[in-house]
Structure 1
Amino acid sequence: MIGDIISSVLLLLGATMALTTSIGMLRFPDTLSRMHASTKPQTFGLLLVLIGAMIRLGRNVDVGMLVLACLFALITAPVIAHRIGRLVYQEQRARDGLIAREDMESGTRD
C-alpha cells in the first residue's frame, strides 16, 4: 500500500519533469537554452520514473535492468550534453566570425 503510493508519486513527478522538458524545448529561443531544458529535468524525470517502477516491481528480476538503465542515463547524459554544447558554441562562434572553420576541424582547444 505505502509502496504503491510512493511509486505513484515518483511516476507522477517524473512525468511532470518530462512535461517541463517538452515545454522548455518549445519555448526557449536558442539551442543552448533548449539543451539545458532537455538534459537536466529529462534525466531527473527518467530517474524518478525508473525508481518508481523499481519500487512497484519489488523483487522482480527486471529491477536489475532498471538499475542498469539508471546508470546508463547518468553516465551518458552529461557526456552527450557537453558534446552538443561544445559543437553549438563552436558553430555560433564560426557564424559570428570569431573562429575559422579550419580551427574547428583541426580540433584545437578553446
Structure 2
Amino acid sequence: MLDVVGAALILVGAFFTLTAAIGILRLPDVLNRMHAASKPQTLGFLLLCVGLSLVLRNGSATAMLAVAACLQLVTSPVATQMMAKAAHRSRQYRADLVVDDRERERIDDDGDRAGLDPDETDPDIGRASR
C-alpha cells in the first residue's frame, strides 16, 4: 500500500514540477514566471520527497530527503522575494499586467483620506533608484 501511495505522490509531484516548467516558458513577464517557478515547483518537490521516502523506506534516504525538503522550503521563498524586489526596482516587468497595491491614499491626521501627490516618491523605491 505504501508503494502505491508513494508512486501516486511521485506522479503528482512530477505533474506540479512540469506545470512550473511550462509556466516559466509560457508566462509573459518576470513576476508571473517567478510565481510559477516558486509555488508549484516547491510543492512538486515536496511531494516527490514524501513519495520517495515512502517508496524507499530507508532511514538515511528519508533523512537526506528531509534535509533537501527543508532547504527547498528555506531557499525558494527567499530567492523568489529577492527576484521580485530586483525586478520591481529595475522596472523589468510589464506594467500593464501589474496592479499596483501600494496605498494611493493616506489617512491624514483628521481621519480624512487624501490623495498622494503624484510627484511624491515612495521612500523604498527612491532609495533603491539612487
Give the TM interval when normalised to the shorter protein: 0.7 to 0.9
State the percentage of identical aligned residues.
34
Report the structure number with the largest CA radius of gyration: 2
Give the aligned length.
101
Q: Which has the higher contact order (CA 8 A, sep 6+)?
A: 1
Which residue identity does 1:8 align to in structure 2? A
Shift of 1:103: 3.6
2:40 paired with 1:41: yes
Shift of 1:59: 3.4
The CA RMSD over aligned residues, in Å, is 2.2
Match of 1:16 in 2: 15
Shift of 1:22: 1.3
Which residue identity does 2:9 align to in structure 1? L
Match of 1:58 in 2: 57
What are structure 2's unaligned runs of at least 5 residues? 96-120
- Give 1 or 2: higher helix fraction: 1
Which range moves more in the overlay, 70-79 or 52-61? Answer: 52-61
What are structure 1's unaligned runs of at least 5 residues? none
- Give 1 or 2: higher strand fraction: 2
SS at 1:62 equivalent: helix
Which residue identity does 1:28 align to in structure 2? L
The two structures have a TM-score, normalised by structure 1, of 0.82
